[in-house]
Structure 1
Amino acid sequence: MSAKLLDNAEFFEMIIDELSMNTSSESSLAKISASAARIQHNWILAFASNVSDQLLTRYFTSQLRSLSKLGSCMTSLLDYPSLDRLSDTFIRGYFSCVEPGALLDDWLLAKLTAPLTDQTQQVREMVANELASGPVSEFLSRYVDECSGKTKLPITVGQFRYFQIVIFRLYHEFNSGSVIADRLTDLFIALEFNQFEIFIDAQELIQRRLSALSGDDWSSEIGKLESFYRFQSKGDVPRYDPRWPPLSAMIAEWLAEEIAKAKACAESARKVLKGNVLKLQLKLSLAQLALLVRLLHKSDVFGGIQINSIFRFFCRHFSTKRQAEISERGFSKEYYAKDMVTAVEIRALLTKMIKQINTDYFPAMAVICAAIFPC
């Protein structure tokens, strides 16, 4: 089978010649119908042929361009039912094979958007009535009008395919109950809607959620979010504007910048504190200090303070007789170690402290203890 036959050029040209005469005679309609039937037959042969997906995509993209030329020659499909069937066959069977960058003319866009009319209208009304007035609602109204053909702006195949997904998801979201702005923003993130106003809206939502956290909780959560969105954006995902990265990738980059800024601020603050904080030098070894802290913690002296915070406090504000700077890792190691020599030394220190309490506050008891337990 020749490539020229499958190309259908002569059949499309025959149809255009008949349309240009604008007679609508029976003989003209018969010629158009016969040519349309040959075109559909060749589409079946091409689709069933053993060619690569790349060649198939190129072929049906060229067929879309030929169909678009027919649309510019017609005033109404009502006069040409065979062409109406031809376009319907292409949309149902072969539209998915067309390159995303191919342009849609007004005729084909009208046929593609016709099944979405009710859903599109309801989404348009919900955006106008339920969403707060602002950049996002204004953009959505404009976007729905553009992709449904109301503004006559050029629309590509890829843009229309993405529009179908958006309308379907918005329609079901709006019909699931009350419209919640934050939930809608989450939906746009899932749809990779990489438009500027929606990106700003997503940033504000994430910032509101993170503002309820502080310290280690904030650092942990923002790290999890950055990893999640970076993983989500892997691959060539459908999105609003293919020239820009997916929305999840944009969010991941922004979160990475926020994490870097937070680390830089924390490092600056640490340096300031390190220069200003007064450290008390103790006549204890690190092992002895760690054991004392362990005893205090096990006796619930610190209450519900996390052990890492306790380590950080003692490392920042104390030094030992051998170490001017104590690392949290070193402190933790000594804290969990069980050294008998250190235990004996601390027990002797605590016994000495008990004797001092008895001497200062219970002198009679101190005399009795001294008689019973002479040094």
Structure 2
Amino acid sequence: MFRDELHSLGKVIDDLFAGTGEPDCTGTLEEIILAWRQATFSAATNECLKRYYSFHLEGISIHSDTLSTFTGEHKALESGLLHLSETLVNRYGAYLEDDLRLPSLYTHAWRQLRLKEISALRPAILNASLPAGLKDCIGSYFDAYLQPGQACLYTLGAIRYFDKLTGELEKLDFSSPDIEQQVDVLFLHLDFNHLHHLALLQARISKNAEQMGQQEKLRYLLAERCRFGGLPVQTRYRYQADWPSLRSMLHNWLSEEIVRVREQSPACTTPIQKLGLNLSVAQLACLLKLLYDEGIFCTENFSDILRFFSAYFRSKRQENISYGSLSKESYSTGQVTAAVLRDKFAQMIKKIDRHFFPE
């Protein structure tokens, strides 16, 4: 049965406020950390451990706030609470939800450490061949977390995202002539769905397209939608977890722009030369579902894959493949269809063995 391991620590803080001097809390801290370690190796379920560790992180936050109002000597106790916070986050972070607020002692120490790291990164960003707006966007993001008085921002998820993003930025070569493209790829991959960044992308695409003719503009917007849609995006991190992803917001905006351009130029058409496949619609649908299930496509939206193939490919019997028929076949594959694909895969494996693994 789990219990409130911080109860004894609360008594230590009460004694401190009672004016008995700063007590030695070393033994108390060791007992708490030992209890946490034992809980990890207990028979408790993951959900139970999540509640257990979250409860203690919230308790440390309360004690941290209480201790911040004490004006006397309390460095040892403050250091102890910080050590407990770091132990929870670093060792048992897998059990902690991203929306948990971090103790003020922890965020203060984190901010001081990151200030030193960012001070070395800022000059590289400022001297890079990046648009001024993008530099301002990155700088304002840094300042929002590194300036005091922003306690509402310091959730565990926000801290994790900041550390991940800045860590990846430090790996970039800011002297490279294509640094803007590198930042685009990185921000999309890490889902930096900052509205300022989205607005900058929209403004840049609009500016590039404004001097183009209607057909060229349409091709450009379609290419940009395809380019951003094809870049890989991880799902672990997101700047604003409760907002749509950067890729989805950009995709929706580009789609609206494409519709607008087409409506302005009814006669403007972009002929599509469909690529023929020696597969039936059912076989193509089954193949796409298999590839999707194996994670071959860099998207989680299976519908987008079906729409793409229905728009740009034709089967051996049909010039036009409808999205509806492709979707239906992907979820109702029969044995005959599966057998055809199995034979094709078997032939491929034989070729691989013959060419790359000769006996």
Query: TM-score range, shorter-chain basis?
Result: 0.5 to 0.7
Secondary structure of 1:173's match? Answer: coil
Residue 19 of structure 2 corresponds to residue 19 of structure 1: no
Report the Cα distance in structure 2 between the residues aligned to 1:222 and 1:184, rounded to whole angstroms. Answer: 20
Amino acid paired to 2:57: L
Which stretch of structure 1 is more off in the superposition, 42-51 or 69-78? 69-78
Superposed CA offset, 1:186-222 (max 9, x none): 4323322112221011123334566797676755554
Report the Cα distance in structure 2 between the residues aligned to 1:213 and 1:167, rounded to whole angstroms. Answer: 36
- In structure 2, which of residues 148, 164, 169 is the aligned counterpart of residue 150 of structure 1? 148
Residue 58 of structure 2 corresponds to residue 65 of structure 1: yes
Secondary structure of 2:97's match? Answer: coil
The correspondence of residues 35-74 of structure 1 with structure 2, limited to 5 A, is: 35-72=28-65, 73=67
Q: Tell me: higher relative CO, structure 1 or 2? Use CA pairs within 8 A at least 6 residues apart.
A: 2
Report the Cα distance in structure 2 between the residues aligned to 1:134 and 1:103, rounded to whole angstroms. Answer: 33
Secondary structure of 1:166's match? Answer: helix
Aligned pairs, number: 266
Report the Cα distance in structure 1 between the residues aligned to 2:272 and 2:44, rounded to whole angstroms. Answer: 66
Secondary structure of 1:49's match? Answer: coil
Residue 10 of structure 2 corresponds to residue 10 of structure 1: no
- In structure 2, which of residues 86, 89, 93 is the aligned counterpart of residue 88 of structure 1? 86
Residue 98 of structure 2 corresponds to residue 105 of structure 1: no
Report the Cα distance in structure 2 between the residues aligned to 1:18 and 1:175, rounded to whole angstroms. Answer: 54
Report the Cα distance in structure 2 between the residues aligned to 1:179 and 1:235, rounded to whole angstroms. Answer: 22
Report the Cα distance in structure 1 between the residues aligned to 2:216 and 2:136, rounded to whole angstroms. Answer: 36
Report the Cα distance in structure 2 between the residues aligned to 1:214 and 1:50, rounded to whole angstroms. Answer: 67
Is the Cα–Cα contact under 8 Å of residues 239 and 246 in structure 1 kept in the other structure?
yes
Superposed CA offset, 1:83-110 (max 9, x none): 4433332232123432111112331112
Amino acid paired to 1:109: T
Is the Cα–Cα contact under 8 Å of residues 214 and 265 in structure 2 kept in the other structure?
no
Is the Cα–Cα contact under 8 Å of residues 10 and 63 in structure 2 kept in the other structure?
no
Secondary structure of 2:171's match? Answer: helix
Residue 200 of structure 2 corresponds to: 201
Is the Cα–Cα contact under 8 Å of residues 119 and 168 in structure 1 kept in the other structure?
no
Residue 296 of structure 2 corresponds to: none
Superposed CA offset, 1:149-193 (max 9, x none): 534342211111111112112223265657844543443233221
User: Structure 1 residues 167, 211: closer, same or farther in 2, change over 3 A?
Assistant: same
Q: Which has the larger radius of gyration?
A: 1
Is the Cα–Cα contact under 8 Å of residues 189 and 234 in structure 2 kept in the other structure?
no
Is the Cα–Cα contact under 8 Å of residues 128 and 141 in structure 1 kept in the other structure?
no
Is the Cα–Cα contact under 8 Å of residues 11 and 38 in structure 1 kept in the other structure?
no
Secondary structure of 1:14's match? Answer: helix
CA RMSD, Structure 1 to Structure 2 (Å)? 3.7
User: Structure 1 residues 135, 12: closer, same or farther in 2, change over 3 A?
Assistant: farther
User: Structure 1 residues 212, 87: closer, same or farther in 2, change over 3 A?
Assistant: same
**TM-score, scaled relative to structure 1:** 0.59
The correspondence of residues 234-249 of structure 1 with structure 2, limited to 5 A, is: 236-249=235-248
The correspondence of residues 108-123 of structure 1 with structure 2, limited to 5 A, is: 108-123=106-121
Superposed CA offset, 1:223-254 (max 9, x none): 35435545668885522222210111100101
Amino acid paired to 2:14: D
Residue 79 of structure 1 corresponds to: 76
Report the Cα distance in structure 2 between the residues aligned to 1:227 and 1:267, rounded to whole angstroms. Answer: 22
Is the Cα–Cα contact under 8 Å of residues 99 and 155 in structure 2 kept in the other structure?
yes
Q: 1:138, CA displacement in angstroms? A: 3.5
- In structure 2, which of residues 27, 33, 41 is the aligned counterpart of residue 34 of structure 1? 27
Residue 260 of structure 1 corresponds to: 259
Secondary structure of 1:103's match? Answer: coil
Which stretch of structure 1 is more off in the superposition, 38-47 or 72-81? 72-81
Report the Cα distance in structure 1 between the residues aligned to 2:26 and 2:244, rounded to whole angstroms. Answer: 46
User: Structure 1 residues 97, 133: closer, same or farther in 2, change over 3 A?
Assistant: same
Report the Cα distance in structure 2 between the residues aligned to 1:179 and 1:113, rounded to whole angstroms. Answer: 31
Is the Cα–Cα contact under 8 Å of residues 189 and 202 in structure 1 kept in the other structure?
no
Amino acid paired to 1:201: L
Report the Cα distance in structure 1 between the residues aligned to 2:166 and 2:181, rounded to whole angstroms. Answer: 18
Report the Cα distance in structure 1 between the residues aligned to 2:192 and 2:101, rounded to whole angstroms. Answer: 21
Report the Cα distance in structure 1 between the residues aligned to 2:165 and 2:233, rounded to whole angstroms. Answer: 20
